[in-house]
Amino acid sequence: MAGQNLSIQQKLLQKLSPQQIQMIKLLELPAIQLEQRVKRELEENPVLEVDENHREGEQQEEEDKEPKEDSDISIEDYLNDEPSYKYKTNNYSKDDKKEDIPFSIGSTFHEYLSEQLGLVRLNEHEQRLAEYIIGNIDEDGYLRRDVESMVDDLAFSMNIEVSDAEMERMLEVVQELDPPGIGARDLRECLLIQLKRREFQTETVENATSIIENYFSEFSKKHYDKIMQRLNLDEEDLRNAIEDIMHLNPKPGSSHSSPASRNNQVIIPDFTLEIIEGELQVYLTRGNIPDLRVSSHYANMLKAYNENKKNQSKDQKDAITFVKQKLDSAKWFIDAVKQRHQTLLLTMNAILEYQKEYFIEGDETKLKPMILKDIAEETGLDISTISRVSNSKYIQTHFGIFPLKYFFSESMQDESGEEVSTRRIKRILQNIIEKENKHKPVTDEKLAVLLKNEGFPIARRTVAKYREQLGIQVARLRKTL
């Protein structure tokens, strides 16, 4: 067995302190998440409190600057500036009974299907099978599992023996529920269910059914000539059938979604841009983020304890330690929030200066090529800091709300050797495609030629990459009748 030896080693390591790590996290937060973070800190740290006097002083200064005329008052002014007594009534007696009215958000999608199933005449065994199928339907309304897998699961997990044919029959029962298309296993089946449940089976509906049932692959690839030839249809009949198909719902489950499950993203800009006398002025959006201060009560408490150290008990010393830790934490958090504001404004002002011509006119073609390194050099900050500042942050301008990442783009050289933003090339590409003949869409090769004529010699594969980044389909799939 080898003997143990003691040795002294000297290492040079770079480590981030907990305060630095939290500062980095604060820097990444957008306005709405910073508001939540401040509220949480206020709840967890009793030494930290809201500086009401500072906020009231700011509001009073704004009110004293310029009185508003009655004609300039908006709905927001009524919401924000009306005295509180105008929203309250005191004409209630002690005998009045106040009842809260519950707010109903409605049933969920699966509850809605189960309610319909209760109106179908099924025995207990069939009811369990149908409920099991409904439980496997996703929020889009599709059954993403095959019948064989569900049969196996019922046998192993619920000890229910059922044949594939019986399961198929119960799936047909579920597919009869509303909205039409529920329980389909793929898009083709979903569209067919909706077409077959049409109240009036017109010639157009029959043609649409034949296209989806027999020539779905050709339809998805827009091989319209083959479809017309094989179904013996003229262009007018095919156009009517395709228009009918386009009115079907590819996600039937989305037509019945609970308000509680809706995922609406609310964007609150972190910056507001104004042009005052031809100069760009940017402000941080405060929102509901309060001004913070250290509680004078706890600060005085710590001062009193420190002045009387001789006669302190163990509990008092523990209290001093606790208060001191919370005081240090509160001071650091206030400084971190201030530093975050300064870093954000420094970065945003550098972006404004770099893209000044664009922000004044709002013309996308005026955007210069700009990468994180350019702003890092302008501000003296690290590239990683610029990346954190630009992540998930938005600015409100006089021509719209944009994420900060929108203003960063790579560069390319035009025929004259001048550096131009790839975003400008994408805009020109998008304009060409929007003006193309939809009966004969422009291919990527032709787009490359057209861009070269505009002074941007780029390869076909680069055109395809930009087109995909813009979310535009290939020429074959852009074709219409």
Secondary-structure percent of the chain, ordered helix, strand, coil, rounded to 5 = 55, 10, 35
**From-to residues of CATH 1.10.10.60 in the chain:** 411-478
Give the gyration radius of the chain's Cα atoms. 33
How are beta strands 48-50 and 394-397 bridged, if at all?
Answer: unpaired
- For residue range 219-258, what is the model confidence (pLDDT) as tens digits? 888 888 888 888 888 888 888 888 888 888 888 887 665 4
User: Distance between CA 25 and CA 113 in Å, rounded?
Assistant: 44
Please report, for residues 216, 301, 457, the alpha-carbon distance to residue 242 in angstroms, rounded to integers and kept in the order given.
Answer: 12, 78, 38
User: Distance between CA 227 and CA 215 in Å, rounded?
Assistant: 7
User: Distance between CA 477 and CA 467 in Å, rounded?
Assistant: 13
User: Distance between CA 452 and CA 462 in Å, rounded?
Assistant: 12
Residue 350 banded pLDDT, cuts 50, 70, 90: very high
At the topology level, CATH places domain 411-478 in Arc Repressor Mutant, subunit A (1.10.10)
What pLDDT is attached to residue 54? 56
Q: Is 220 within 8 Å of 214 (Cβ atoms)?
A: no
What pLDDT is attached to residue 72? 43
In percent, how much of the chain has pLDDT > 70? 79
Sequence-separated (6 or more) residues with CB below 8 Å from residue 213: 192
What pLDDT is attached to residue 364? 76
Q: Is 393 within 8 Å of 353 (Cβ atoms)?
A: no
User: Distance between CA 163 and CA 155 in Å, rounded?
Assistant: 10
Query: Average pLDDT in the 89-100 region?
Result: 46
Does position 16 have pLDDT exceeding 50, yes or no?
Answer: yes
Greater confidence (60 vs 293) lies with: 293
User: pTM value?
Assistant: 0.53
Does position 2 have pLDDT exceeding 80, yes or no?
Answer: no
Does position 99 have pLDDT exceeding 60, yes or no?
Answer: no
Give the number of other Cβ atoms within 10 Å of residue 212's Cβ: 22
Least confident piece of the model among 101-105, 155-159, 265-269, 421-425: 101-105
Query: Average pLDDT in the 95-100 region?
Result: 48
Least confident piece of the model among 58-67, 283-292, 433-442: 58-67
- 279 phi and psi angles, rounded to 5 deg: -105, 140
- Residue 253's nearest CA partner among 152, 188, 184 is 184
The pair of three-digit structure tokens given for residue 121, joined into one six-digit string: 């005449």
Please report, for residues 45, 46, 48, 321, 333, the alpha-carbon distance to residue 298 in angstroms, rounded to integers and kept in the order given.
Answer: 11, 9, 9, 12, 16
User: Distance between CA 339 and CA 358 in Å, rounded?
Assistant: 28
Greater confidence (409 vs 94) lies with: 409
Residue 18 banded pLDDT, cuts 50, 70, 90: low
Does position 88 have pLDDT exceeding 60, yes or no?
Answer: no
Greater confidence (10 vs 171) lies with: 171
Strand partners, 284: 271
Torsion 215-218-224-227 (CA) sign:
negative
What pLDDT is attached to residue 141? 87
Name residue 27's amino acid.
L
To 10 degrees, what angle do helices 296-307 and 314-354 make? 140
Query: Average pLDDT in the 17-28 region?
Result: 74
What pLDDT is attached to residue 349? 92
Residue 71 banded pLDDT, cuts 50, 70, 90: very low
User: Distance between CA 222 and CA 232 in Å, rounded?
Assistant: 16
Strand partners, 184: 142
Secondary structure of residue 282 in the 3-state scheme: strand
Q: Is 412 within 8 Å of 422 (Cβ atoms)?
A: yes
In percent, how much of the chain has pLDDT > 90? 2
What rounded mean pLDDT belongs to the chain?
A: 78
Burial annotation 80-89 (CB, 10 A radius, 16+ → b, else e): eeeeeeeeee
Query: Average pLDDT in the 52-75 region?
Result: 48
Residue 93 banded pLDDT, cuts 50, 70, 90: very low
What pLDDT is attached to residue 407? 85
What pLDDT is attached to residue 110? 83
User: Distance between CA 409 and CA 333 in Å, rounded?
Assistant: 34
Least confident piece of the model among 42-51, 117-126, 412-421, 424-433: 412-421
Please name the residue that has the structure tokens 């969920």.
108
How are beta strands 394-397 and 271-276 bridged, if at all?
Answer: parallel
The pair of three-digit structure tokens given for residue 81, joined into one six-digit string: 């500036």
- For residue range 34-43, what is the model confidence (pLDDT) as tens digits? 888 888 888 8
> Count H helices, E strands: the chain?
22, 8
Does position 67 have pLDDT exceeding 80, yes or no?
Answer: no
Task: Give the range with max mean pLDDT: 51-65, 230-244, 282-296.
Answer: 230-244
Burial annotation 92-123 (CB, 10 A radius, 16+ → b, else e): eeeeeeeeeeeeeeeeebbebbbeebeeeebe
Greater confidence (219 vs 314) lies with: 219
Query: Average pLDDT in the 179-208 region?
Result: 88
Does position 384 have pLDDT exceeding 80, yes or no?
Answer: yes
Secondary structure of residue 190 in the 3-state scheme: helix
Query: Average pLDDT in the 332-356 region?
Result: 89
- For residue range 23-37, what is the model confidence (pLDDT) as tens digits? 778 888 888 888 888
- For residue range 433-446, what is the model confidence (pLDDT) as tens digits? 888 888 888 888 88
User: Distance between CA 340 and CA 26 in Å, rounded?
Assistant: 7
